[in-house]
Amino acid sequence: MVQIDRLFNEINPKLGEFTFDENVAHVFDDMISRSVPLYDDVQRVLPVLASLLDHPVIRVVDLGCSTGTSLIQLAQALPHRQLELIGVDNSQAMLDKCAEKLSSLDIQPQVELVRADIRDYEPRDASIILMNYTLQFVDLPSRPKLLSRICQSIRPDGFMLVSEKVSHHQVAVDDALVELYFEFKRRNGYSELEIARKREALETVLVPVTVDENGRMFREAGFAEVELLLKWFNFATFVVRKSAG
């Protein structure tokens, strides 16, 4: 059963920097569905793109897999394709929650969970790399090297699906879009206090860059094709490939 996220509403919340600990893992599925616009659409696009690959075995590596939602939905959407699913996360609490979700599903044997820092992890021969809402948590200086390693690990006709919170060049536009995002959270039942506390907790941990800056990093890492697939105010999803697809 999905637990409702009230972490920042408690009388004595654990304040300080946001971490993906047990408390977060416990309510994560509710938190992400109420905090990330177009989250379900991002899940929906993945099997459509994956089904276009003619690889006999589609090897998917989800960097920052959290509770495994993307891998689970992909496997359920493509029951007749042979999938090798690898979820990587550095939070044991998130991986435990993922394992708990998988335990009641018959796709469990197809999934390998790896506890690792994605800055050190070497994905191998991937058809698809997923990196949804995770790069934003990686310190800026480490992003170029991580992206180069990912690019080298993808098969020539594979792709990476990456989603990020993004910032904007014009301060007024950026401020307006942040306000629209807070409105989205209010509509999803978060109070002013919860919104303000979460914002403070994420301040130094989640570092968004612009769509252009992300595109530049992908290209410099070796991706020749960078497509902006979805954009909702301050959130963006890209599909990137090494060569024209």
Q: Should residue 232 be labelled a site residue for ligand SAM when binding is judged by CB under 6 A?
A: no
Q: Should residue 237 be labelled a site residue for ligand SAM when binding is judged by CB under 6 A?
A: no
DSSP secondary structure letters along 53-65: ---SEEEEEEET-
Q: Should residue 132 be labelled a site residue for ligand SAM when binding is judged by CB under 6 A?
A: yes
Binding span for ligand SAM by CB under 6 A among 59-67, 170-178, 214-222, 235-243: 59-67
Closest C-alpha to 86, from 47, 106, 116, 56: 116
Closest C-alpha to 129, from 83, 162, 91, 163: 162
Phi/psi at 113 (5° precision): -105, 135
Q: Should residue 194 be labelled a site residue for ligand SAM when binding is judged by CB under 6 A?
A: no
Which residue's CB is nearer to ligand SAM, number 142 or number 157?
A: 142
User: Closest distance between ligand SAM and the C-beta of residue 108, in Å?
Assistant: 18
Closest C-alpha to 113, from 97, 135, 129: 97
CA dihedral sign of residues 203, 98, 115, 238: negative
User: Closest distance between ligand SAM and the C-beta of residue 14, in Å?
Assistant: 16
Q: Should residue 26 be labelled a site residue for ligand SAM when binding is judged by CB under 6 A?
A: no
Which residue's CB is nearer to ligand SAM, number 176 or number 202?
A: 202
Distance CA 129, CA 216 (A): 18
Which residue's CB is nearer to ligand SAM, number 176 or number 206?
A: 206
Residues β-bridged to residue 113: 87
Give contact residues for ligand SAM (rule: CB under 6 A).
20, 32, 64-66, 69-70, 89-91, 94, 117-119, 132-134, 137-138
